Structure 1
Amino acid sequence: MTEENQVLIRYGEIGTKSRPVQKEMLQTLRQRVQDKLEYEEIETEKISQRKGRVIVETENTGETVEALKNLPGIVSISPAVKTDSSIDSIKKASEKFEYGETFGVDATTASNPISSMDINREVGSHVEEFTGSSVDLDNPETWLGIEVKEDETFLFTRTVSGPGGLPVGTQDEYLSLVSGGIDSPVATYKMMKSGADITPIYFYNKPIAAEDHLLRFEAVLDKIREYHPGKKWNYYIVDMEEVNNKLMEVGKGRMILHRKIMFKVAEKIAEKEGLRGLVTGESLGQKSSQTARNMENTSSEIKKPLMRPLLTDSKNDITEKAREIGTFELSEINSACRSLAPENPATELKEHRLKQLEEEIGIDELVEKALQSTEKKEL
């Protein structure tokens, strides 16, 4: 019976940074791990950091791995057994695992008088003797990993992949347009995976959208918060009723105007809050407003950086990621945008026509009305 009481957390991209930056990011990753485990109410004895690793000491290794497997900054996780670094102790610790009919041993060493090859051979012979299993270094049923440090060694037979990237909060903060649909929560998560901090903004498409759309957004936001639970989350809700009532008078071009107003409102809020830029869930060609021409139309006047982390992702890839991070099931209500769009939306709206429509609806006045209807809330 395995007696794992350690969890090894590996990182990757952090290791490419300069030493001072590595140190700061590693401390942040350790804090993010602690925040997440406290949020999930998982008891731990100790959370420490080493070169190349964050280590959690806990009797709840399975729950810990499950809680951390999608946490930005983590490359992989292994529940492990800890022992000292003598070969006899390592052999003894290897007896605490269950093995299949075939196994292999893969040791790495640091400042240890015994080479990794010698450890592989000696521990392999020992496991073979007490289990009766056969060595197979090509495709074994069980791999025994051994990480040998100067004064401690960790053994494990399971490694769970993480998302990689950087810990949340090690880069700038952005205002993310979150609809509660499938795409925008994934875009938000991908920015967080790149180290960005996030403030969400929701454009409440009244009178088309009912309250269940707002509830969907709040449920999605609650899930996104799980990837940075130590933060005090604020978010914005923009009442779009006056804007939408005016836009319903427009035929082709309505959705372009709608998105352009959203971007203008979002940029003004980002400027007020000192945020670096905007984030959207746009993906090239997936909607009429997301053709190359229309994305240029909607964002050409925005001066702040506009991040589109899903720009070239397929719908299947986006959906799969939504399932992984737990937002997909929360995003199944039909979005208001489908009701707002005309039967034949414009995919290539000419610039002169767009300017004409902007004058007809009084776009600057609508932007101001939307700003006046904006409410800042705390999650």
Structure 2
Amino acid sequence: MRQACVLLKHGELALKGRNRERFEHQLIDNVRRALDDLGPGVRVRRRRGVIVLSAPGRPGLPPTLLERAREIIGVSVVQPALRVDRTPEAAVAAALELAREARPDGSRPRFAVRAKRRHKDFPLSSTQLNALIGAAVNAELGWPVDLSHPDVEMAVEVDRREIFVSAARYSGLGGLPVGCSGRAMALISGGFDSPVAAHRAMRRGLACDFVHFTGAPLTGPSSAYKAYALVRRLARFQSGARLWIVPLGHVQKELSLAGAGSLHVVAQRRLMIRTAERLARAAGAQALVTGDSLGQVSSQTLSNLATVEQAATLPLLRPLLAWDKEEIMAEADRLGTGEISRLPDEDCCSLLAPRSVATRTTASSLERLERRLDVEATVDGLLAKARLLHLTPGREESPGTGPEERREPSAAAAS
């Protein structure tokens, strides 16, 4: 037996005690969904502390399997490996094969062998297996052994029915499997912050739906397309997503006519929170997620954050509260959302914004303005105009066409 495979390992789930089974099942379901479009030959199997990906009905593994596996939240380590018979001789042969593949130019890196037995009935101890494989690689290829600072580290894992041998190890995203902590509605703009905040929420096990507020009809469609591109990128981490597009332009104009003045931005954010919460309840979400960072802009002072939060009855989560802008932008670039966020668009938050924004607000000062506006009727009007987009990460749009659009009938009726 000789079969190429990929091992997926999870770190944090080991701490879950009696709940570990539920988390592992969620992770396996997520892995299957993430790999579903790679073809029916990809097999997902659970082993003790590891998930094994293989393609027994195909000549080799799909070329994108490794990259796809590294984007599955909940996986801490991704290891391409060879699965071989449960004998010392098969383990030695696999190690030699992987060593030659790792250095096809014939160079002689320093190496180490790390063997582990999940089942102790194997005839050799871990130390003996290390010595056997190490001696073979040293004799055949001339590689020097260095247990402290190896250039190549070979992992050998003895399981119940087979041995896995690996010469490469990649970091995964870690975190908790998406969906194990429930569902949230993430408010997403075209900036750097909100996509990173949504991803951090996903890493804590929240499946996210999204809502984007545009300046339409006072602005063009650029921000909606930008939000679509950002959510499409984020959908790769949870195998799909839903995005609601809500036109806010008329309401922004009404706020100005109602005399919002320096309270305009905070009042607008409270309307966004109320609208997002109604959508969240209709979608079965239990929390809201925003990209707020304390003190980053004048609307995100502690006073203003508290005033905005008082408009919500669902928990309002702010994963980036203590992050600075450089940290956020670096993470956005790592996730692949940064290049999208840099594209120009017409941000609804700057539309009709006052010259100065109040930095110290209270709920009572906003409530007087909201009574003049008739908040409940305003939110009902926004929900009636909401558009729903379904995003599938593996599907490519035709050039020049827009995203798939569907009206969500329950959104306007949400209460």
After TM superposition, the score normalised by the length of structure 1 is 0.91
Shift, 1:29, TM fit: 1.7
Q: Which residue of 2 aligns with 1:310?
A: 320
What are structure 1's unaligned runs of at least 5 residues?
none
Q: Does 1:27 align with 2:14?
A: no
Counterpart of 1:94, as a letter, is A
Q: Which residue of 1 aligns with 2:4?
A: 5
Q: Does 1:47 align with 2:44?
A: yes
Match of 1:205 among 195, 215, 234: 215
Q: Which residue of 1 aligns with 2:405?
A: none
Q: Aligned partners of 2:44 and 2:390: how far apart in 1?
A: 29
1:178-221 Cα distance to aligned partner (Å, 9 max, x none): 12321111211222221112221111222454211111111112
What are structure 2's unaligned runs of at least 5 residues?
392-415
Judge conservation of contact 1:104–1:135 (CA < 8 Å) in 2.
yes
Counterpart of 2:11, as a letter, is G
Q: Aligned partners of 1:106 and 1:61: how far apart in 2?
A: 28
Shift, 1:282, TM fit: 1.1
1:76-128 Cα distance to aligned partner (Å, 9 max, x none): 10101111232222111111123542111111112234222222122111111
Q: Does 1:83 align with 2:93?
A: no
Q: Which residue of 1 aligns with 2:360?
A: 348
Q: Does 1:224 align with 2:234?
A: yes
Counterpart of 1:133, as a letter, is W
Judge conservation of contact 1:10–1:54 (CA < 8 Å) in 2.
yes
Q: Which residue of 2 aligns with 1:254?
A: 264
- When residues 198 and 108 of structure 1 are mapped into structure 2, their CA distance, relative to the original with a 3 A threshold, is same
**3-state SS of the aligned residue for 2:116?**
strand
Aligned-CA RMSD value: 2.2
- When residues 378 and 92 of structure 1 are mapped into structure 2, their CA distance, relative to the original with a 3 A threshold, is closer
Judge conservation of contact 1:44–1:56 (CA < 8 Å) in 2.
no
Q: Which residue of 2 aligns with 1:67?
A: 68
Q: Aligned partners of 2:207 and 2:247: how far apart in 1?
A: 24
Shift, 1:255, TM fit: 0.7
- When residues 38 and 179 of structure 1 are mapped into structure 2, their CA distance, relative to the original with a 3 A threshold, is same
Judge conservation of contact 1:6–1:61 (CA < 8 Å) in 2.
no
Q: Aligned partners of 2:45 and 2:352: how far apart in 1?
A: 52
Shift, 1:248, TM fit: 3.4
| Identical amino acids, percent of aligned pairs | 28
Counterpart of 1:108, as a letter, is K
Judge conservation of contact 1:147–1:155 (CA < 8 Å) in 2.
yes
Q: Which residue of 2 aligns with 1:366?
A: 378
- When residues 143 and 43 of structure 1 are mapped into structure 2, their CA distance, relative to the original with a 3 A threshold, is farther
Shift, 1:68, TM fit: 1.8
For residues 1-379 of structure 1, what are the structure 2 equivalents within 5 Å? 5-19=4-18, 21-39=19-37, 41=38, 44-58=41-55, 59-60=60-61, 63-97=64-98, 98-99=102-103, 100-110=108-118, 111=120, 112-229=122-239, 233-249=241-257, 250-332=260-342, 333-334=344-345, 335-350=347-362, 352-379=364-391
Counterpart of 1:56, as a letter, is L
**3-state SS of the aligned residue for 2:388?**
strand
Q: Aligned partners of 2:336 and 2:40: how far apart in 1?
A: 23
Q: Aligned partners of 1:258 and 1:252: how far apart in 2?
A: 11
**3-state SS of the aligned residue for 1:181?**
coil
**3-state SS of the aligned residue for 2:64?**
helix
Counterpart of 1:24, as a letter, is R
After TM superposition, the score normalised by the length of structure 2 is 0.83
